[in-house]
């Protein structure tokens, strides 16, 4: 019996509104977290796509800019003048006019220097180049002034220099606020800002492995490394992730109402299911008093002689409207709510009332009754059975008890209670064997007389290659432990013959008879009926 302390807890737990509220709150939390994760993922994905697109666009524009600078240098190298003269200044001016991105062109040697802007001192001629390549040399960030007419990026070849202005470069790359376009040197150890803010390099936050992806994402920055033909340097675009959090919450607010609506739906669904379950439980409790529960008997036959040796008691619930409620629906519910105990008592009492005289006059017959897990774990059923057997003068060996593998919650307690039933003469059967978790070692410790092979394994015989070997394995296991075997769900003659050839002695199923009423079962036994032909016994009864 359930302890008094657990009864209020159980009744409180099964209140529909409490379960519905808990389901709704839990669903809301999980769905909100999931929607937040989706929003974060979408923002990160969108952010990465935007950065990749911006980086590709920057690279395309920078390649165009560098291409014009290189072409301008090539033109200057091809002309013969090598001195600062009016002709040289004219050529320098002509080059700057011919190429959109060349703001300044210059000639520099050891003795003189001149540019296309003779009245301005724009170039820093004295410091060595930042990058010295095999053909071109590069000066980066040649002016830190904010004046857009100052040279910011310079290429040199021989004695000639060409540069682009800060304004030209800004128009080219459209740098976001707080970003920086840098050239990284010394194998990633040094970075020179070309445009934008001066940022620390290398980044303080470790970037995850890129795996070949030019975009690296840290907690606060997006770092896009643009591929270049020169291994000595890299163009790197660094952008802060300042808007991500706001964008994430903006997206989340769109997903949140749907998550809350779905949580409310789940809560309402749980409420309806619990109310329906409680309603079914209340109806079941009344069904015992209204006589809506009926005990039927599934005959068990000797496969060799086709003689009936007993039956399995089955419970059916016929509603007043004539509908049949499946045992798979109301039996688990009765186990959860504690109603299975009076139902089991009802089955035992009814079968002895209906078949007590038959069992007394046919001592070779037996009836098996299914036990729920709660009755396996307590000794209550033995006391109930002893009182009923004494009242109806039936031998204990004529009442067998079937337990499922899943019902053996605590093996030690179950073994003790099952042994107590066997000690007074009852048989113990393992029902639906093979669908639970019993192993051979586990089975050896239990006081068992018989194994019942589940219908699924009987159906697979000769058909399902993956499962057809299970039934023979169970049969050999039972024989090794000197246990009887009953095959359930036999529907065809070839199944019965195959099982018999494998050493199975007993079986039940629609090949022999459907579940019979007490009157039909008594008539079957009274006629001493055997089943030699193709017709079912319930068709003849």
Condensed to tens digits (0 to 9), the pLDDT of residues 99-115 reads 988 888 989 888 888 88
Which pLDDT score, from 0 to 100, does residue 540 have?
Answer: 38
Which pLDDT score, from 0 to 100, does residue 420 have?
Answer: 93
Question: Who has greater pLDDT, 539 or 217?
Answer: 217
Question: DSSP labels for 389-453?
Answer: HHHHT--GGGEEEEEEGGG-SSHHHHHHHHHHHHHTT-EEEEEEETSS---HHHHHTS--SEEEE
Which pLDDT score, from 0 to 100, does residue 282 have?
Answer: 62
Which pLDDT score, from 0 to 100, does residue 147 have?
Answer: 52
User: Which two three-digit tokens encode residue 56?
Assistant: 């590709």
**Which residues touch 507 (CB under 8 Å, ≥6 apart)?**
300, 301, 303, 486, 487, 488, 490, 496, 499
Q: Which of 90-104, 252-266, 281-295, 361-375 has the lowest mean pLDDT?
A: 252-266
417 with 510, same domain? yes
Q: 252-284, pLDDT tens digit by residue?
A: 555 667 666 666 666 666 656 555 555 555 666
* The 3-state secondary structure of 259-310, one letter per residue: HHHHHHHHHHHHHHHHHHHHHHHHHHHHHHHHCCEEEEEEEEEECCCCEEEE
User: What does the pLDDT average to over 63-90?
Assistant: 88
User: What does the pLDDT average to over 277-298?
Assistant: 72
Residue 517 has pLDDT above 90, yes or no: yes
Which pLDDT score, from 0 to 100, does residue 443 have?
Answer: 72
Q: Residue 190, Cα to own-chain centre: how many angstroms?
A: 46
- The CATH number that applies at residue 327 is 3.20.20.450
Within a domain: 254: no
Residue 354 has pLDDT above 60, yes or no: yes
175 with 311, same domain? no
Residue 8 has pLDDT above 50, yes or no: no
Within a domain: 278: no
Please provide residue 305's backbone torsions phi and psi, each rounded to the nearest 5 degrees.
-95, -15
185 with 301, same domain? no
CB 123 within 8 A of CB 115: yes
Residue 369 has pLDDT above 90, yes or no: yes
Within a domain: 279: no
224 with 299, same domain? no
- For the chain, how many residues are written? 541
Q: 162-204, pLDDT tens digit by residue?
A: 988 777 666 666 666 777 777 777 666 777 777 766 777 777 6
**Which residues touch 8 (CB under 8 Å, ≥6 apart)?**
none
Within a domain: 271: no
380 with 448, same domain? yes
Which pLDDT score, from 0 to 100, does residue 255 have?
Answer: 60
CB 420 within 8 A of CB 448: no
User: Above pLDDT 70, what percent of the chain?
Assistant: 66
Question: Who has greater pLDDT, 471 or 23?
Answer: 471
228 with 300, same domain? no
User: Which two three-digit tokens encode residue 318?
Assistant: 């016929």
Please give the residue range of the domain that contains residue 396: 293-540
Helix or strand holding residue 255 (H, E): helix 244-290
Going across the sheet that includes 151-157, the strands are: 113-115, 104-108, 160-165, 151-157, 137-140, 131-132
300 with 406, same domain? yes
Taking phi over 0 as left and psi of -120 to 50 as alpha, with beta for the rest, 163 belongs to beta
User: What does the pLDDT average to over 115-134?
Assistant: 70
346 with 456, same domain? yes
Which pLDDT score, from 0 to 100, does residue 203 have?
Answer: 73
Please count the structural domains in the chain: 2
Evaluate the CA torsion angle 179, 184, 189, 193 in order and state its sign.
Answer: negative
Q: Report the distance separating Cα 519 and Cα 535, nearest Å.
A: 19
Within a domain: 257: no
242 with 386, same domain? no
Final residue in a domain of this structure, among 211, 246, 281: 246
User: Which two three-digit tokens encode residue 299?
Assistant: 């005959």
User: Which two three-digit tokens encode residue 284?
Assistant: 């079941």
Within a domain: 240: yes
Which pLDDT score, from 0 to 100, does residue 3 have?
Answer: 45
Q: Which of 11-15, 240-244, 443-447 has the lowest mean pLDDT?
A: 11-15
Residue 392 has pLDDT above 60, yes or no: yes
386 with 516, same domain? yes
201 with 310, same domain? no
358 with 428, same domain? yes
Within a domain: 517: yes
Q: Residue 218, Cα to own-chain centre: how many angstroms?
A: 28
Local confidence band at 539 (pLDDT 50, 70, 90 cut-offs): very low
Within a domain: 276: no
Which pLDDT score, from 0 to 100, does residue 256 have?
Answer: 63
Final residue in a domain of this structure, among 207, 229, 246: 246
């Amino acid at each position: 019996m359930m302890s008094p302390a657990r009864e209020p807890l159980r009744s409180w737990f099964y209140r529909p509104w409490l379960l519905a509220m808990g389901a709704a709150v839990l669903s809301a939390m999980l769905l909100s977290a999931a929607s937040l994760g989706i929003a974060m993922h979408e923002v990160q994905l969108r952010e990465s796509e935007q950065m990749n697109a911006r980086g590709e666009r920057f690279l395309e524009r920078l390649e165009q800019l560098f291409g014009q600078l290189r072409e301008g240098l090539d033109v200057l190298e091809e002309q013969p003048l090598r001195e600062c003269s009016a002709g040289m200044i004219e050529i320098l001016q002509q080059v700057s006019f011919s190429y959109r991105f060349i703001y300044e062109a210059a000639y520099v040697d050891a003795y003189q220097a001149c540019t296309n802007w003779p009245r301005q001192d724009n170039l820093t001629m004295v410091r060595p180049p930042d990058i010295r390549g095999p053909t071109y040399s590069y000066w980066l960030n040649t002016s830190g002034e904010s004046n857009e007419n100052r040279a910011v990026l310079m290429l040199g070849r021989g004695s000639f220099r060409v540069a682009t202005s800060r304004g030209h470069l800004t128009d080219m790359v459209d740098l976001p606020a707080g970003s920086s376009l840098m050239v990284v040197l010394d194998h990633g150890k040094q970075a020179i800002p070309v445009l934008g803010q001066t940022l620390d390099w290398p980044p303080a936050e470790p970037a995850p492995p890129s795996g070949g992806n030019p975009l690296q994402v840290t907690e606060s920055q997006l770092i896009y490394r643009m591929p270049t033909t020169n291994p000595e340097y890299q163009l790197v675009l660094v952008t802060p992730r300042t808007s991500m959090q706001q964008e994430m919450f903006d997206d989340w607010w769109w997903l949140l109402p749907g998550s809350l609506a779905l949580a409310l739906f789940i809560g309402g669904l749980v409420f309806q299911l619990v109310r329906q379950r409680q309603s079914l439980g209340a109806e079941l409790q009344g069904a015992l008093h209204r006589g809506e529960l009926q005990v039927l008997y599934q005959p068990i036959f000797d496969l060799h002689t086709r003689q009936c040796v007993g039956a399995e008691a089955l419970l059916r619930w016929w509603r007043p409207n004539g509908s049949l409620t499946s045992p798979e629906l109301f039996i688990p519910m009765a186990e959860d709510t504690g109603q299975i105990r009076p139902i089991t008592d009802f089955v035992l009492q009814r079968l002895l009332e209906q078949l007590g005289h038959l069992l007394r006059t046919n001592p070779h017959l037996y009836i098996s009754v299914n036990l729920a897990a709660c009755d396996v774990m307590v000794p209550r059923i033995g006391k109930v059975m002893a009182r009923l057997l004494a009242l109806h003068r039936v031998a204990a060996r004529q009442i067998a008890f079937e337990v499922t593998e899943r019902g053996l919650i605590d093996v030690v307690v179950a073994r003790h209670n099952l042994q107590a039933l066997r000690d007074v003469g009852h048989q113990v059967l393992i029902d639906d064997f093979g669908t639970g978790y019993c192993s051979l070692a586990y089975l050896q410790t239990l006081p068992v007389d018989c194994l019942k092979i589940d219908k699924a394994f009987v159906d697979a015989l000769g058909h399902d290659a993956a499962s057809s070997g299970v039934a023979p394995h169970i049969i050999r296991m039972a024989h090794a432990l000197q246990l009887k075997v009953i095959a359930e769900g036999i529907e065809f003659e070839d199944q019965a013959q195959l099982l018999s050839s494998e050493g199975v002695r007993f079986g039940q199923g629609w090949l022999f008879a459907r579940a019979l009423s007490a009157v039909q079962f008594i008539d079957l036994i009274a006629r001493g009926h055997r089943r030699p032909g193709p017709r079912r016994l319930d068709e003849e009864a």
